[in-house]
């Protein structure tokens, strides 16, 4: 797909992986909007990248509906949705707090579903579209203390397979990207310290993966792609 002049919406686009994806799409000539909860971060990033900021929380249904409606009202269509918004909470099962568990699922699972639902309404009408879900290799293999985060990413992977089966008949490509560890502020928000290394993945590698799968001719698509550092040790 030629990305020039395509209309792309990236959730969680204020920083980290979302910011890198939004910047790469914009550099490729797409018209890009980013959404996220932190208005100050979102608007600063939008100004720096030359994209449009739509503040909103993907876990709030009214915000999701308003975001997609505003995007389509401005651009007339939506060609790409990148479901990137997400965060993690890590604790042993016996210490897991229901409130924190629910919050992770509200964003990583319900938020992704709500955004996909609203975008898919337009994809079906247009008979075209690209839905890219940013998951994690934690959605391929669980680990100790990762009930909330891994559980949410396993759920996202399952929903992706369901949406793919529903939407292919409308010429919609549904793609799952599984990053392994990436150098972002994810760990700081999740409450643990990330070991830094110049050999670990950067957000740019994930943005490269997203652009790579989108640029394939629309007669084909990559259902799922995992991205690992070559040698992070």
Tokens 């652009």 correspond to 211
Catalogue the active-site residues. Answer: 149
194 pLDDT more than 90: no
The per-residue pLDDT for 196 is: 85
120 pLDDT more than 90: yes
Helix 98-105 vs helix 147-167: crossing angle, to nearest 10: 30
Rounded CA gap, 9 and 62, in Å?
Answer: 17
User: Hey, what domains does the chain have and what are their CATH numbers?
Assistant: 7-227 (3.40.50.720)
Rounded CA gap, 8 and 81, in Å?
Answer: 6
Contact 31, 46 (CB under 8 A): no
Q: What is the pTM of this model?
A: 0.96
Q: How confident is the model at residue 116 (pLDDT cuts 50, 70, 90)?
A: very high
DSSP state of 142: -
> Which residues face 9 on adjacent strands?
33, 81
Tens of pLDDT, residues 128-163: 999 999 999 999 999 999 999 999 999 999 999 999
- Helix H or strand E encompassing 118: helix 112-126
The per-residue pLDDT for 233 is: 85
Tokens 């990236």 correspond to 10
How far is Cα of residue 89 from the mean position of the Cα atoms in its chain? Answer: 18
Tens of pLDDT, residues 200-224: 999 999 999 999 999 999 999 999 9
Helix 203-215 vs helix 16-27: crossing angle, to nearest 10: 40
Tens of pLDDT, residues 55-91: 999 999 999 999 999 999 999 999 999 999 999 999 9
Please tell me whether residue 92 adopts helix, strand or coil conformation. coil
């Amino acid at each position: 797909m030629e990305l020039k002049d395509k209309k792309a919406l990236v959730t969680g686009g204020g920083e980290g992986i979302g910011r890198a994806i939004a910047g790469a799409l914009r550099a490729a000539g797409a018209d890009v909007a980013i959404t996220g909860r932190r208005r100050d971060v979102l608007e600063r990033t939008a100004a720096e990248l030359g994209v449009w900021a739509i503040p909103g929380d993907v876990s709030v249904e009214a915000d999701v509906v308003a975001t997609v409606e505003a995007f389509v009202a401005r651009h007339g269509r939506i060609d790409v949705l990148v479901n990137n918004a997400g965060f993690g909470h890590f604790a042993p099962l016996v210490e897991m707090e229901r409130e924190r568990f629910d919050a992770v699922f509200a964003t990583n699972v319900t938020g992704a579903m709500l955004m996909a639902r609203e975008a898919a309404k337009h994809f079906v009408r247009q008979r075209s579209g690209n839905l890219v879900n940013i998951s994690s290799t934690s959605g391929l293999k669980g680990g100790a203390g990762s009930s909330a985060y891994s559980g949410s990413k396993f759920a996202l992977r399952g929903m992706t397979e369901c949406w793919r089966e529903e939407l292919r008949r409308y010429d919609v490509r549904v793609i799952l990207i599984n990053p392994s560890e990436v150098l972002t502020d994810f760990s700081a928000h999740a409450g643990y310290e990330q070991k830094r290394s110049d050999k670990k993945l950067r957000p740019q590698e994930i943005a490269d993966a997203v652009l790579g799968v989108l640029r394939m001719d629309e007669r084909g698509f990559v259902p799922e792609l995992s991205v690992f550092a070559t040698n992070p040790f």
